[in-house]
Structure 1
Amino acid sequence: MISARAWDDARRLWGFQRMGHEARACSVAVGLGSHDLGVADTAVGLYRRGMMPLIVFTGATSRTTRERMPRGEAVHYRERALELGVPGAAVLVEPRARNTGENIRFSRAVLEEADVDVSSVLLISKPYEERRAYATARKLWPEVEIVSASTPMSLEEYVDSLQDAHLVFDMLVGAVQRLLIYPEQGFMISQPLPKDVRAAYERLKREGFTSRLVPGAQGGA
C-alpha cells in the first residue's frame, strides 16, 4: 500500500511537471507518441478550438506500446483523430521516433519537407512529461516558441485511467531524474528544481519508485 506521504510527494512532482501554459493559436501542434491516447484526444480538442491548422503525430513503438499500437503510436494517434472528425489533410505522421529528442527532430524534418512555415509549436504530451517535452524542444528547436499542453487532469484521475499507482509514481520519478541528468548530456535545457520538489523526488526513490530511472546515472538509484 502506498503511504499518504508518498501520495503527497507524487502530487508535488505532478504539479511541477505541469508548465501552466495557456493554450493559444500556434503554427502547428506536435503530439508526442506514447501509450496514452489522451494525447491524440487533447490534440483533437485543441484543433476544434482553432488552436492550429495542422497536427503532427510522432512515434514508433516501444515495449509498452508494441501490443496496443502495432502499427505505431503516431499511426494509431492519427487514426484516432480521423475517427473524431479531423480531416486527413490536417494530420501528418512521423513514424520513426523512439524518444523525445527524436520526436522533436524528426517532426521538425517532416514539417520542413512539407514546406510548413513554423514560428510556434503547441507541444502535446502526457501530463507528467510536459516539462521534459518543453525542455527538450527548447534545446533542439530554439528558434520557435513552445507552448506546452496535455490533458487537464489530476494525479488521481491519471492513476485511475491506468489502474496502476506504482507505475505512475515510477514514471514521475523517472521524469524528474531526466530533468537532472539530460541537460548535461545536451538533450534538453537546464531548469531549476525547487528544493521541495527535489526532496519529494528523493523520498520517492527511497520508497522504491525506481523502475523508470536511468540506471547508474546521477540522480538515479
Structure 2
Amino acid sequence: MITNEVIALAQELWDYHHMQHEPQKADCIFALGSHDLRVANRAAELYLQGWAPLLIFSGGLGNLTKSIWTETEADQFAAIAIEMGVPADAILVENESTNTGENILFTQELLQERGLDPQSFIVVQKPYMERRSYATFKKHWPDKQLLVTSPQISFKDYPTDDIPLERVIHVMVGDLQRIKIYPAKGFQIYQEIPDNIWKAYERLVELGFDKHLAR
C-alpha cells in the first residue's frame, strides 16, 4: 500500500539516485535503453541543443521489455530521435545488450568497429537509475569523462499508466541494494550511501517493496 510514509521514504531514494549533474559539451550522448521512452526524448533534446555531435542508443530487449515489445529499445529510441529532428547519420544503434554492463561493453565494441574513440560522454538514463549508471560506466570505462542526466521530471510526476508508482518504488529499492552490493562483485565502483538513505531502504523493504531485490 502506498501511504504517506512510503511516498516520503521513496522521495529520499529518488533524490539520492539523482547525480545532480549539469550538461556540459561532450563528444557524445549515450542513451541507455529501457521501457521508458522519455529517455529517448531527453537524449534527442540534448543533441538538438548542441551538447554533443554524436548520439548513441544502446539496448536490445531486457528483462522487462522482452515481455512487452518486439522492437528493440535502441531502435525505438532512434526512431523517436529522428522524428524529433536528429539526423540519422548522427545516430549509432547498439541493439543486442540486455543490461547496463552490456550496454557499455557492446557500445565499446561498436565504437572500436567504427574507429571512434570519444573521450567525454553525457549518459542519459531513467531518473532513478542515474547513480547506478554512473557507477557501472566508471567501472567499465574509468578513463572517460562522464556526466549523467535523465528526463527532467519530478518523482510526483514520473509515474504513468505504463510505469506505475508501485513498480518505480520496487525498482528504486532494488537499485539501491545493487549500489551497495555490486562493487564487491566487480560490476560497479563504490558509492557512499548515507545512513538516512539506507534506513529508508530498509524500511521500504520491511513494508514489502522487495520485488526487484537481487536474491
TM-score (norm 1): 0.94
Equivalent positions of 1:9-48 (< 5 A) are 9-48=9-48
1:161: Cα distance to partner? 5.9
Q: Which amino acid aligns with 1:70?
A: T
Equivalent positions of 1:48-197 (< 5 A) are 48-66=48-66, 68-160=68-160, 162=162, 164-197=164-197
Q: Distance in 1 between matches of 2:37 and 2:160?
A: 15
Q: Distance in 1 between matches of 2:109 and 2:17?
A: 27
Query: Percent identical across equivalent pairs?
Result: 39
Of stretches 79-88 and 122-131 in structure 1, the one that deviates more from structure 2 is 79-88
Q: Which amino acid aligns with 1:100?
A: T
Structure 2 residue runs without a partner (length 5+)? none
Of stretches 1-10 and 124-133 in structure 1, the one that deviates more from structure 2 is 1-10
1:109: Cα distance to partner? 1.5
| Root-mean-square deviation (Å) | 1.2
Q: Which amino acid aligns with 2:64?
A: T
Q: Which amino acid aligns with 2:165?
A: A
Equivalent residues of 1:69, 1:76 under 8 A apart: no
Q: Which amino acid aligns with 1:125?
A: Q
Q: Distance in 2 between matches of 1:115 and 1:101?
A: 21
Q: Distance in 1 between matches of 2:133 and 2:151?
A: 14
Q: Distance in 1 between matches of 2:142 and 2:39?
A: 23
The residue that corresponds to 1:212 in the other structure is: 212
SS of match in other structure, 1:122 = strand
Q: Distance in 2 between matches of 1:55 and 1:89?
A: 9
Q: Distance in 2 between matches of 1:65 and 1:163?
A: 12
1:68: Cα distance to partner? 4.2
SS of match in other structure, 2:159 = helix
Relative to 1, partners in 2 of residues 1:142 and 1:63: Cα closer, same or farther, differing over 3 Å?
Answer: closer
Q: Distance in 2 between matches of 1:102 and 1:66?
A: 16
Of stretches 137-146 and 156-165 in structure 1, the one that deviates more from structure 2 is 156-165
1:62-115: CA deviation from partner (whole Å, max 9, x where unpaired): 242135431211111111111111111011000111110010111122112112
* Residue correspondences, number: 215
Equivalent residues of 1:27, 1:117 under 8 A apart: no
Equivalent residues of 2:62, 2:99 under 8 A apart: no
TM-score (norm 2): 0.96
1:7-46: CA deviation from partner (whole Å, max 9, x where unpaired): 1110000000000000111111111010011111000100
Q: Distance in 2 between matches of 1:49 and 1:74?
A: 21
SS of match in other structure, 1:155 = coil
The residue that corresponds to 1:219 in the other structure is: none
Equivalent residues of 1:30, 1:107 under 8 A apart: no
1:163: Cα distance to partner? 5.3
Q: Distance in 1 between matches of 2:114 and 2:87?
A: 17
